[in-house]
Structure 1
Amino acid sequence: MRSKTEVADTSPEIDVSTLGSALLALTRNETDMKWRVVSELPENMILGLNIRERNPSHVALLAASILEEGQIQECVADQFGGKTRVWAGQHRFWAVESINNMAHEAGLDQRLKLRVRVHDGEFTLDQILAVQLAENLHNQMRPEEEAAAIMSLYKLYLQVSVDQPRSVADLARRIGRGETKVRNALSFMNLDENVRKLVESDGIFYSLAVQIARLPLEKQFRAANRIIIYNLDSSGAARLIEETLGEGKQLPGLFSGQQLEVLAKQNGRLAFRNAADRAARDADGYFRRVLALIKLLDNPTKAEATEPILDILAGFISSGRGFLAELDDACPGLTSQILWHVNEIVRRTKD
């Protein structure tokens, strides 16, 4: 199971062959572009298109922070139709607006102005995307979070580039991401909603979900179910998807030659500690993925499963009980130590 700390690789992919021309263009833009910092009432400004929805809780927190410490970070804007148009920092805009609304309702005359760094002119498409990229794509994002941000950038790109040729490859170039990464992100965001929820709850890996996106929408969640229940890795998932699409051979049975091949490669000499550690991690991850799947059911209390799936789950539990019984016969002292550790794990989990 994926660690919660896993994040997306959001490092830009730089084309060294075009680095010189890019630097020259940026240097020229810095010289040509003129910026000034202004303070205006939000009611006199307009908002540009934004890829983030308004978050009332975030607005309230920002409003409280601004009242206590002032506005620390400037918004970013351009000029459009004689007005200041805010592109980055729209939650700060809404926070100041809400403060002024509260002041008006309280019968106060004072109004707070929003501090904005304004470009003297209208942003180009590349400048709009650059502002949104800096505002919404961060290094510490999980893959599914990055995918959502890329999808929002794509929608914005389609809206603001109506008079220009548009393509996924062009967007990828403009935002400094690989075309494959952008296409995978868009595919992920078009997945069955329940499959995306499985990724968000660590029920299934993002990379496996991207493979599932090859399937028709109505078959995606069932494929995710099978990947979790049969505990398939990337190659097993690929075979399942090929079978579902009718492009591959019938998926081999569970616990087939795949496990025997792994043991043969290792010459049967797995260290006991490594084997035990791996088995514990695999079992814990497997059960957590199954639970994540069950929680997505419409009525988990009435969950049903096919006989093969029941056999698999029952087999896991039966194996554990059987192992404990045989261990107790061979080494009662060790069994009591294990049970003590089990109780400690349960206690820590509840705490």
Structure 2
Amino acid sequence: MARTAFVTEAGGPEKFEIRDVEVGDPGPGEIRIRHKACGLNFIDVYQRTGLYKLDYPHALGMEASGIVEAVGEGVTHLRAGDRAAYASAPPGAYCEERVMPAAQVCPLPDGISFEDGAAMMLNGMTAEYLFARTTPLSKGDTVLFHAAAGGVGLIACQWARSEGITLIGTAGSDEKCQLALDHGAAHCINYRTEDFEARVKEITEGRGVDAVMDSIGKDTFEASLNCLRPLGMMMSFGNASGPVPPVDLTMLASRGSLKLTRPTLFTHISDPQTCQDMARALFDKVLSGAVTIRVGQSFPLERVGDAHRALEARETTGQTILTL
């Protein structure tokens, strides 16, 4: 039996319930993994509230790390006893042990702890596709990154620095701004005390940035478009403040033939080989020291509701994990 956090119906953090679930043997293409730690992400909040629909009751959680206990027929990249980590569907990672599809589970190098492994996969592979797969970015380019002290943000700050890309971050306090600067941001704007659009134009001497990476959504969308140079790319990859309203495409034309995309990690990792390649690129950044994973806070599984409250209140920095 494995303790597992379920959401009984769409709603607030009070909808969580810890249940004991029987764990069986893996079938073809599956593994059984015993978790050491589980990652917490905003997609979990969207699934809990019903913004992203699930059939309730449903176990939540999209990433974790642990030890592979058994593999099913056809699984060749993992063996029983291997250290592993993943960010993948279906939800259900908030648990002690589970059976799940093996294709997006990745061998975890010995040099990376289980805590870091649980905290890094979803956010780290998100940073990988933002910088390496969404639009051409290279040394000397400038990007605007919202929530620069968050889970993806602190990785993105370091990733940009390692690639010679200038990252202008935003965050909600002077302390969070300093954290982003300490992790490699060239500039960080406190959006509570400064107009980030005006400040970006000042920093770039009116040119604008080559790309915006925005997980905030509704509250920052239009001003972010105004920060782009002509032909710049807007990457809207989250909805922390709510979904972006319908977009009039002439907005993009009038601001300089801008490009707009709404990417997701799960599209990128749906191909198993691509998923493994992205994970290796992330592991290489961490093992080389270019990227350090910051676990800002941890909660025991029984306090998963408190963890969600902290995330929604933007009280967290870096990554958040659940311990077992």
TM superposition score normalised by structure 2? 0.23
Larger fraction in strand: 2
Larger fraction in helix: 1
Bigger Rg, structure 1 or 2: 1
